[in-house]
């Protein structure tokens, strides 16, 4: 057993968490998830606060800490568990990034999951490398990968969300940007994450490495991250994304794209949600929104934004988890103003019957999602 596994087992025991000595590694496809319908807590007529974090035990804190909903992050110190998990997320993301780095500027073996939704052999190899790191260090946890589905301990309070290449279309074309995204949820709340972003382009590739843990802030290449102080939409640079299905949500976002392009400095569309969210945390963009993201797309980036001082909700202003199908992330001064545009479009979709509640949630996570939203 690795030193980190021993350390985490001792840590879990100290706070009364159950550790299984013989975890199950049965891999289950995503269609085995049960889809939660609209939760009662997600009342479309209410505007809830951004996702709150659990406070550490009082004995871990030598002074009083307060949680700021407007800042979208907790100022409480991270537990020893989360600091260790941040380092593990970094190790896993960097391992996946090494696989991607080796494949840059080389011919791709491209396969299609849909008409335009593609996957490469590098996606699969990167996910396998990441899982190998995680399964060695935290075999008692659950894992959710974009390419491989669910594996590990289905009863664990911890679930790792893995996107081996976020922005596969960009990677396949050699177009920056794309990245490797790894995050771990504890009871449905992101508590540690890392993203390795590839930028620059052919013959000049460079990387940025982001990481964060709950209550400890977010960093990029060792530098502390902070969202901008932008409060005026006319002075903002925004970013969004579009899914592969050209349906009602796609059309609604096209309208939002035009509306906000008309009143802002510009709206970018880079094609990698994890990277988009990291750019908000980095302070080079001011806000992000998108429909129909999956947990592996946004879990790491959402934590970066929250720990950099930003606010994250659904696009109709309700409390958020990474299992939701709408994401709005922005600076504290800009969030409410962007919501004035995104909320009417999103409510119209819901009222028309378009499914924008929660995505597929592992059975054990139903209770955690509801608790996170309460």
Among residues 95, 120, 122, 168, the one annotated as catalytic is: 168
What are phi and psi for residue 67, nearest 5 degrees?
Answer: -105, 130
Active-site residue flag, 146? yes
For 179, the token pair is: 């990245």
Among residues 140, 157, 197, 297, the one annotated as catalytic is: 297
Which DSSP state fits 47?
A: -
Looking at the DSSP bridge assignments, the partners of residue 324 are 358
How many other C-beta atoms lie within 10 A of the C-beta of residue 113?
A: 12
Active-site residue flag, 297? yes
Q: Are 199 and 171 in contact (CB under 8 A)?
A: no
Q: Are 138 and 6 in contact (CB under 8 A)?
A: no
Active-site residue flag, 123? no
How many other C-beta atoms lie within 10 A of the C-beta of residue 103?
A: 18
- Direct distance between the N- and C-terminal alpha carbons of the chain, in angstroms, rounded to an integer: 38
Among residues 137, 140, 166, 197, the one annotated as catalytic is: 166
For 71, the token pair is: 């800042």
**DSSP letters along 170-211, please?**
HHHHT-S-EEEEEEEEETTEEEEEEEEEEES-TT--EEEEEE
For 85, the token pair is: 């998990």
Looking at the DSSP bridge assignments, the partners of residue 197 are 179, 208
Among residues 123, 146, 197, 276, the one annotated as catalytic is: 146
Cα 345 to Cα 249: distance, rounded to the nearest angstrom: 9
Among residues 130, 165, 276, 311, the one annotated as catalytic is: 165
Which DSSP state fits 35?
A: E
Among residues 127, 137, 163, 276, the one annotated as catalytic is: 163
Active-site residue flag, 168? yes
Which class for 101: exposed (0-12), middle (13-18), buried (19 or more C-beta within 10 A)? middle
Residue 372: strand, helix, or coil: helix
Active-site residue flag, 127? no
Catalytic residues, by residue number, are 146, 163, 165-166, 168, 297
């Amino acid at each position: 057993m690795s030193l980190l596994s021993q350390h985490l087992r001792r840590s879990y025991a100290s706070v009364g968490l159950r550790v299984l000595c013989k975890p199950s590694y049965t891999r289950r496809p995503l269609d085995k998830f049960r889809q939660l319908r609209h939760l009662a807590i997600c009342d479309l007529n209410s505007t809830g606060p951004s996702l709150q974090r659990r406070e550490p035990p009082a004995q871990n804190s030598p002074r009083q800490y307060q949680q700021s909903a407007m800042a979208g992050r907790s100022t409480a110190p991270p537990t020893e568990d989360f600091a260790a998990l941040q380092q593990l997320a970094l190790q896993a993301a960097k391992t996946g990034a090494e696989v991607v780095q080796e494949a840059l500027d080389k011919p791709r073996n491209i396969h299609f999951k849909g008409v335009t939704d593609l996957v490469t052999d590098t996606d699969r190899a990167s996910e396998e490398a990441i899982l190998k790191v995680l399964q060695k260090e935290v075999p008692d946890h659950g894992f959710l990968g974009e390419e491989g589905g669910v594996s590990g301990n289905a009863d664990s309070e911890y679930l790792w969300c893995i996107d081996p290449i976020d922005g596969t279309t960009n990677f396949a074309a050699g177009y920056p940007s794309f990245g490797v995204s790894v995050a771990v949820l504890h009871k449905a709340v992101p508590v540690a994450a890392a993203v390795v972003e590839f930028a620059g382009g052919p013959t000049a590739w460079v990387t940025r490495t982001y990481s964060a843990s709950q209550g400890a802030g977010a960093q990029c290449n060792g530098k502390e991250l902070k969202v901008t102080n932008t409060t005026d939409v006319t002075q903002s640079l925004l970013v969004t994304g579009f899914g592969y299905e050209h349906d009602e949500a796609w059309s609604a976002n096209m309208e939002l794209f035009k509306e906000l392009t008309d009143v802002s400095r510009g709206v970018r569309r880079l094609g990698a949600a994890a990277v988009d969210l990291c750019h908000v945390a980095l302070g080079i963009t001011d806000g992000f929104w998108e429909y129909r993201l999956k947990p592996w797309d946004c879990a790491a980036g959402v934590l970066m934004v929250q720990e950099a001082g930003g606010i994250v909700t659904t696009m109709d202003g309700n409390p958020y988890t990474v299992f939701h199908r709408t994401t709005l992330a922005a600076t504290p001064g800009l969030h409410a103003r962007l919501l004035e545009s995104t909320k009417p479009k999103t409510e119209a979709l819901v009222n028309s019957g378009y499914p924008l509640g929660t995505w597929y949630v592992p059975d054990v996570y139903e209770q955690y999602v509801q608790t996170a939203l309460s």
